[in-house]
Amino acid sequence: MATIIQAPYPKIKVTSTFPNVKFGDIRKSESTITIKRTMTGRKITYVHPSDRYTLTLPFQLTRVKALEMEEMVNIYQAAHWKLTLYDGSEWDAQLVDAPVSRTATGRIGDNTLVGKELVELTLTLSAKRLN
């Protein structure tokens, strides 16, 4: 299964399909823990739960697909996206970091036609799971 990005969510206008992320996605909870001490020295722990996760998606794309993703990011940077990952999970996501930067990493085979070089690109999103 591929990674599918649809924007803006919930009134979807654009759907783009990208290959799976390079090394799998990184999911980090946005919950926080605060530890405080009382006057007697006793520790009190406050947990601030959150249903949101920070998703880091490292892609390795052809130059043409990287340009497509960069254009989508430029247009829908502030909008919510519907993200469907390789494992079938669906997320309501928003871009966290600044617009993406492309890093050329190599070429595909001996063919030097335009658009055949590989580009690494990483998206960082704040997301809430839908399913």
Beta bridge partners of 81: 93
Spatial separation of the C-alpha atoms in residues 84 and 59, rounded to whole Å:
14
Beta bridge partners of 7: 14
> What is residue 114's predicted lDDT score, i.e. its pLDDT?
58
Average pLDDT of span 15-30: 81
Mean pLDDT, all residues of the chain: 84
> Where are the extended beta strands (E) located within 20-116?
26-29, 32-37, 43-48, 52-62, 81-84, 90-95, 103-107
Which whole-number Å values give the CA distances from 25 to 14, 46, 72, 91, 113, in the listed order? 23, 29, 20, 13, 31
pTM over 0.85: no
Contact 9, 72 (CB under 8 A): no
pLDDT tens-place string over residues 59-82? 888 888 888 888 888 899 889 999
Taking the domains of the chain in order of start, what are their residue ranges?
A: 3-129
Give the pLDDT band (50/70/90) at residue 28.
confident
